């Protein structure tokens, strides 16, 4: 087991990506602490983990609320004895598919402010404990929008670029304390649309503008990758496990490209 007896906090643990990674963490021996906004979604993931012999705890936490996140991290550290891994997989509703000429300042700024806020808040809360113990791994989540220009993704693209910049700066600040920071950058994950209505709502405007169903829209995106497909939840979860494990102990301040070749570094 790659993560045996590690304590992992997953913010957005009830979502498609957060839930998939949490299950993979538990499969590899980690004690998982799921934080999110919806009890039912968190409970579903926790029940799945415990049914397979894993350990999972849930807490309703607003990952943008600095006090709530700090109190939750303190409670996890007190209960478990450490925080070894943290992933921010929080999804935030935002506008996509609106051309720049029609985009309001509010719709542009919202994802940038919201995503950078939650990554700052969650990283700061767990880093306090990781610094004290001299080790830890912080995982962030981005998309190819951080690098690929295109109409209709102005706010979210800038937000993803900011997440990657935050990850690099965190790696620089926290590295001397033994803390690694790695950003995961998958392309769109078709399965996530089945599991998560939030994901469908995000893609729907862009698909509508193209006159396509969401499925056909994603099929077109898949055709534009080097592998002629998009990543799966299992692939993203497995890479998250590896990055959080000691096998990736020399890796920090980097972005794991999980785009199937829609973006080539």
Interatomic CA distance for residues 153 and 92, integer angstroms: 14
Residue indicated by tokens 């392309």: 187
The pLDDT tens digits of the residues spanning 75-86 come to: 999 999 999 999
Interatomic CA distance for residues 56 and 5, integer angstroms: 12
Interatomic CA distance for residues 192 and 200, integer angstroms: 8
pLDDT mean over 204-221: 71
Q: How confident is the model at residue 203 (pLDDT cuts 50, 70, 90)?
A: low
pLDDT for residue 224 is more than 70: yes
pLDDT mean over 14-39: 97
Please name each of the domains of the chain with its CATH number. Answer: 7-256 (3.40.50.720)
pLDDT for residue 3 is more than 70: yes
| 99-105-108-114 Cα dihedral, nearest 10 degrees | -160
Q: How confident is the model at residue 199 (pLDDT cuts 50, 70, 90)?
A: low
Q: What is the overall mean pLDDT for the chain? A: 93
In total, the chain counts a number of residues equal to: 265
Kind and range of the H or E run holding 180:
strand 179-186
pLDDT mean over 58-65: 98
């Amino acid at each position: 087991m790659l993560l045996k007896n590690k304590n992992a906090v997953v913010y957005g643990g009830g979502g498609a990506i957060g839930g998939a990674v949490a299950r993979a963490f538990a499969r590899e021996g980690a004690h998982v602490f799921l934080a999110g906004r919806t009890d039912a979604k968190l409970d579903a993931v926790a029940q799945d983990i415990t049914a397979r012999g894993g350990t999972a705890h849930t807490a309703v936490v607003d990952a943008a609320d600095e006090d709530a996140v700090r109190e939750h991290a303190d409670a996890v550290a007190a209960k478990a004895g450490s925080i070894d891994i943290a992933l921010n997989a929080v999804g935030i509703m935002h506008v996509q598919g609106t051309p720049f000429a029609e985009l309001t300042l509010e719709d542009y700024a919202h994802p940038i402010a919201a995503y950078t806020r939650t990554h700052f808040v969650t990283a700061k809360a767990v880093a306090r404990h990781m610094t004290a113990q001299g080790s830890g791994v912080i995982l962030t989540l981005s998309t190819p929008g951080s690098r690929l220009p295109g109409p209709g993704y102005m706010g979210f693209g800038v937000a993803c670029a900011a997440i990657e910049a935050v990850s690099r700066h965190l790696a620089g600040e926290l590295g001397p304390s033994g803390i690694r920071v790695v950003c995961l950058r998958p392309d769109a994950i078709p399965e996530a649309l089945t599991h998560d209505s939030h994901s469908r709502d995000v893609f729907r405007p862009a698909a509508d503008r193209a006159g396509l169903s969401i499925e056909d829209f994603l099929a077109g995106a898949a055709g534009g990758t080097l592998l002629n497909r998009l990543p799966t939840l299992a692939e993203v979860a497995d890479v998250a496990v590896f990055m959080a494990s000691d096998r990736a102990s020399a890796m920090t301040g980097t972005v794991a490209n999980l785009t199937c070749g829609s973006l080539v570094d």
